[in-house]
């Protein structure tokens, strides 16, 4: 629930909306006529593809474009590869779009099932990195035991999105099984499940400490959880992982649990779908389903200048193509009517100070924005604490000049990271 305060009178009140005690039914979509999986593309274009158009694939089969199989996607259906084409995601991220046409008879790939008798971190990383919820298994594998605490989010970071909340309450058994497997394959013993409201009841035997947080946004963002739940402040420029803490969504843990319970790699994504009229549904669809198919299934039409946002109203990003597929981390699809969409402007900052007052990181956002607008990213980082930003989006939400501050911040961090990578490659 979002109640925007009148400018200057009080800070905005934004709360996570709790689901009712009797959870809504999940609405399941049929398998689409075509689905698209986004396979990470490497710069080494000379590496030959191990997949080709016309190849047949099985349900649950690991598909990799490169012989070492470190990067892969998992086919949610049995079918034929219809196309392989370059695809550009957010901030220029490069993929190969693997489009599959489902066939009539389903054949399940058994390779993972044959190995589930002895779970290891390597096995999980090899098969479940792209499972629903995107388990951050690379962080566990790369940290060499540096991760000491896993925080499972049973509350979504963005308000109005209810995917993690729903799954944490409705899939207790798979969640507990996932926690048990994680304990079995890692040295991590400190596992915390985050909930809010009344939802902690019933988690007695989950295998994790259950901690309740406030329902006021942004209490479920990682940096806030670090401070409020673990009592640690993440220094600017450091990550939660640097402090030995790694975050999983409830769905990521459930994916691990259900994979070992059923012997199959899960490929069905649960997400929150919010229509233009504000109706909220919890839906389930194959990873790879075009967003346009989801809209069509619920009779939602998109007109010029309407917006489709993935990832929540505060921190999500708009997409521009109905062919964009549901991905393992697509927790929400929000359709916003053009008349209700937040607009941005090129009005100058009037130095009202609203962004400074609302910023949970206590940054001088009004000064930072001047550097960001001038693309002076290094100065923004050196002089105005760019890296202290916890990416809550509140500054952009309250800005009376409608400056897209949050988007500027994300772009600045991306550009600085890219410059660092290029420098390292040239060294």
Q: Give min distance, CB of 38 to ligand SF4, in A.
A: 27
Closest CA to 37 of 297, 271, 323, 332: 323
In the bound state with ligand SF4, the residue whose beta carbon lies nearer, of 37 and 403, is 403
In the bound state with ligand SF4, the residue whose beta carbon lies nearer, of 210 and 355, is 355
Q: Give min distance, CB of 222 to ligand SF4, in A.
A: 12
Q: Give min distance, CB of 234 to ligand SF4, in A.
A: 12
The Cα-based distances of 235 to 50, 115, 162 in angstroms read 43, 41, 30
Q: Give min distance, CB of 347 to ligand SF4, in A.
A: 8
Range 315-331 burial, b when 16+ CB lie within 10 A, else e: bbeebeeeebbbbbbbb
In the bound state with ligand SF4, the residue whose beta carbon lies nearer, of 111 and 351, is 351
Q: Give min distance, CB of 12 to ligand SF4, in A.
A: 11
Query: Is the CA virtual torsion 10, 12, 16, 22 positive or negative?
Result: positive
φ/ψ bin of 33: left (φ > 0), alpha (ψ from -120 to 50), beta (otherwise): alpha
Residues that bind ligand SF4 (CB under 6 A): 349-355, 358-361, 363, 365-366, 369, 389-395, 398-401, 403, 405-406, 409
A 10 A CB-CB count for 83 gives: 13
Q: Is 172 helix (H, G, I), strand (E, B) or coil?
A: helix
A 10 A CB-CB count for 373 gives: 16
In the bound state with ligand SF4, the residue whose beta carbon lies nearer, of 107 and 400, is 400
408: buried, middle or exposed (CB in 10 Å: 19+, 13-18, 0-12)?
Answer: buried
In the bound state with ligand SF4, the residue whose beta carbon lies nearer, of 161 and 234, is 234
In the bound state with ligand SF4, the residue whose beta carbon lies nearer, of 174 and 354, is 354
Residue in the structure block whose two tokens are 């006529």: 33
Q: How far apart are CA 397 and CA 355, in angstroms?
A: 9
54: buried, middle or exposed (CB in 10 Å: 19+, 13-18, 0-12)?
Answer: exposed
Q: Give min distance, CB of 314 to ligand SF4, in A.
A: 9
Cβ(2)–Cβ(302) under 8 Å?
A: no
Phi, psi of 64 (to 5 degrees): -130, 140
Q: Give min distance, CB of 414 to ligand SF4, in A.
A: 14
Q: Give min distance, CB of 396 to ligand SF4, in A.
A: 7
In the bound state with ligand SF4, the residue whose beta carbon lies nearer, of 82 and 356, is 356
In the bound state with ligand SF4, the residue whose beta carbon lies nearer, of 191 and 361, is 361
Q: How far apart are CA 163 and CA 153, in angstroms?
A: 10
Query: Hey, which residues does 80 pair with through a beta bridge?
Result: 56, 101
A 10 A CB-CB count for 24 gives: 13
In the bound state with ligand SF4, the residue whose beta carbon lies nearer, of 147 and 224, is 224
Q: Give min distance, CB of 373 to ligand SF4, in A.
A: 9
Cβ(302)–Cβ(335) under 8 Å?
A: yes
Closest CA to 208 of 157, 149, 258: 149
In the bound state with ligand SF4, the residue whose beta carbon lies nearer, of 254 and 399, is 399
Q: Give min distance, CB of 371 to ligand SF4, in A.
A: 12
């Amino acid at each position: 629930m979002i109640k925007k305060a009148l400018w200057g009178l009080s800070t905005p009140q934004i709360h996570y909306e709790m689901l009712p005690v009797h959870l809504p039914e999940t609405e399941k979509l049929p398998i689409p006529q075509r689905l698209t999986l986004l396979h990470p593309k490497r710069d080494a274009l000379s590496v030959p593809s191990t997949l080709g158009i016309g190849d047949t694939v099985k349900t649950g089969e690991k598909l990799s474009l490169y012989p070492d199989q470190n990067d892969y996607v998992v086919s949610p259906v049995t079918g034929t590869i219809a196309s392989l084409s370059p695809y550009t995601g957010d901030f220029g991220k490069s993929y190969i779009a693997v489009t599959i046409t489902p066939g009539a008879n389903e054949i399940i790939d058994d390779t993972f099932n044959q190995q589930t008798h002895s779970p290891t971190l390597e096995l999980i990383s090899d098969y479940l990195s792209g499972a629903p919820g995107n388990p951050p298994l690379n962080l566990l594998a790369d940290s060499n035991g540096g991760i000491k605490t896993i925080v499972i989010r049973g509350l979504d970071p963005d308000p109005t999105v209810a995917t993690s909340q729903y799954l944490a309450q409705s899939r207790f058994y798979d969640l507990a099984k996932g926690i048990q497997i994680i304990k079995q394959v890692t040295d991590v013993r400190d596992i915390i499940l985050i909930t809010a409201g009344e939802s902690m009841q019933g988690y007695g035997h989950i295998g994790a400490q259950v901690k309740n947080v406030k329902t006021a946004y942004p209490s479920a963002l990682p940096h806030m959880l670090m401070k409020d739940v673990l009592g640690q402040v993440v220094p600017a420029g450091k990550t939660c992982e640097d402090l030995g803490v790694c975050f999983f969504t409830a769905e990521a843990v459930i994916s691990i649990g259900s994979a070992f319970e059923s012997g199959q790699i899960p490929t069905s994504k649960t997400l929150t779908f919010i229509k233009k009229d504000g109706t909220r549904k919890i839906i389930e669809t194959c990873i790879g389903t075009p967003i346009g198919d989801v809209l069509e299934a619920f009779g939602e039409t998109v007109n010029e200048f309407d917006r489709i946002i993935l990832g929540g109203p505060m921190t999500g990003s708009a997409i521009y193509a109905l062919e964009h597929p549901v991905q393992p981390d697509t927790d929400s699809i929000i359709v916003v009517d053009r008349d209700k969409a937040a607009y941005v402007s090129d009005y100058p900052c009037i130095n009202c100070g609203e962004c400074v007052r609302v910023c949970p990181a206590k940054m001088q956002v009004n000064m930072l924005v001047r550097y960001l607008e001038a693309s002076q990213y290094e100065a923004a980082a050196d002089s105005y604490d760019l890296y202290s930003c916890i990416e809550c989006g509140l500054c952009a939400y309250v800005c009376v000049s409608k400056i897209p501050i949050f988007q500027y911040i994300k772009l600045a961090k991306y550009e600085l990271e890219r410059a660092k990578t290029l420098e390292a490659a040239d060294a």
